[in-house]
Amino acid sequence: MAIHIVVAIKQVPDTSNVRINPETGTLIREGVPSILNPYEVHALELAVRLKELHGGTVTVLTMGPPAAAEALRECVEQGADRGILISDRKFAAADTLATSYVLATAIQALDAELPVDLLLFGKQAIDGDTAQVGPGVATRMDVPVLSCAIKVERFDPVARTAVIHRRVARGIEVVNVRLPVLLTVEKEIAAVQRAPLANMLRAVNFQPELWSASAPVAFDPAQIGIKGSPTIVGAAHTPSLKKAGERVTANPGAPAEAVAAALAARPHGGGSCLDHHSGGTPGEAEVSPKIIVWGVCRSPYD
């Protein structure tokens, strides 16, 4: 049974190349090459693999500046059938709320044309790291969302179900879900394969379908761009490097004392980390297995 998969992508500055203006805390985007957000590279790959298995169509969608056409072209090289660029000055300065409105509305229009079985998003964009747009779209469209998907164990377009593995803090969750579903994916979801030459030849003359704020879908002017974006960035700062943790060796009889002493030795130890909260066992801290001491780890992103 032919399936329809929609992949939402974002063109981002290559943050492995990016510098941050120390005064303003903002990215210096000038001269930084743009790339397809790495998670979406893998989302697309999954879509293409599923299409190869079941037949059907992969539609790629992005809201962005005209230059984002290049990211769509890359998707066509990798096997997408259709690329839509939603681009209009009126969309500028959109936050995740406005972006999810636009993408959800666009996908609903696509769904009316050809029912969508699977929606794929990257886990997060490497320039914003919010991870909000995928879930935002799912909520607006009233489809289930599974974030941080790492594997599609089964995908059955006839029974309209799928079995998805997703990464959670304490391990892996295996979920049986009804289609359509929206996944935000990790890189493990599908290994990137080298595109066949025929795809390259097809992509070379690719031009995206251009959607504006008013056609072919009339977006609600109040919900797009700066008007539809209530987020205010109060301040931005460059995270400082997290220092390596320290190992506290304690007498098996009195672990708490050792920890207390170690903390006391660090008067501004608010961020010191006795054990990294990895979701598993408390690492190698040599404390009695009955008394587990969790340190507070501040992620550089919170």
Partner 1 sequence: MPDTLKFDAIVVGGGPSGLASAIIMARAGLKVVLFERGRFAGSKNLFGGVLYTSAIQEILPGFMAKNPPFERPVTEQGYWLLSPDSVVRMMHRSEQYKVEPAAAYTGLRARFDEWFARQAVAEGALVIAKTAVIDVLRDNRDRVIGVRTDRPDGDVYAPVTILSEGVNNLLTQKLGLAQGDLPPRLVALSVKEVIGLPQATIEQRFGLTGLKEGVAIDLFGDATLGLPGTAFLYSNKTSISIGVGMLLEMFVEHRLRPHEVLARFKAHPAIRPLLAGGESLEYGAHLIPEFGYDRMPKLYADGVMVAGDAAGMVDAMHREGTNLAMMAGKFAAEAAIEAHSSKDFSARHLQAYRDKLEASFVMKDLKQYRRMTDFLDGTPHFMKTYVDFVNDAAMRYFNAHDMPKRDMEKDIVRSLGKRRSFLGVAQDVMRLMRGMGL
Interface with partner 1 by CB under 8 A: which residues? 77, 193-198, 200-202, 204-205
Q: Compute the distance between CA of residue 279 and CA of residue 282 in angstroms, rounded to an integer.
A: 8
Nearer to partner 1 by C-beta: 90 or 202?
Answer: 202
Tokens, residue 161 = 């179900």
Q: Compute the distance between CA of residue 199 and CA of residue 78 in angstroms, rounded to an integer.
A: 7
What is the SS3 assignment for 50? helix
* Minimum gap (Å) between residue 197 Cβ and partner 1: 4
Q: Compute the distance between CA of residue 76 and CA of residue 79 in angstroms, rounded to an integer.
A: 5
Nearer to partner 1 by C-beta: 42 or 123?
Answer: 42
Nearer to partner 1 by C-beta: 196 or 280?
Answer: 196
Q: Compute the distance between CA of residue 122 and CA of residue 103 in angstroms, rounded to an integer.
A: 14
* Minimum gap (Å) between residue 194 Cβ and partner 1: 6
CA dihedral (164, 167, 168, 174) in degrees, to 10, reads 30
* Minimum gap (Å) between residue 209 Cβ and partner 1: 20
* Minimum gap (Å) between residue 74 Cβ and partner 1: 9
Nearer to partner 1 by C-beta: 175 or 195?
Answer: 195
- Residues 296/245, Cβ–Cβ less than 8 Å: no
* Minimum gap (Å) between residue 210 Cβ and partner 1: 19
Nearer to partner 1 by C-beta: 27 or 195?
Answer: 195
User: Which positions ≥6 away from 64 have C-beta within 8 Å?
Assistant: 10, 11, 71, 85, 86, 87
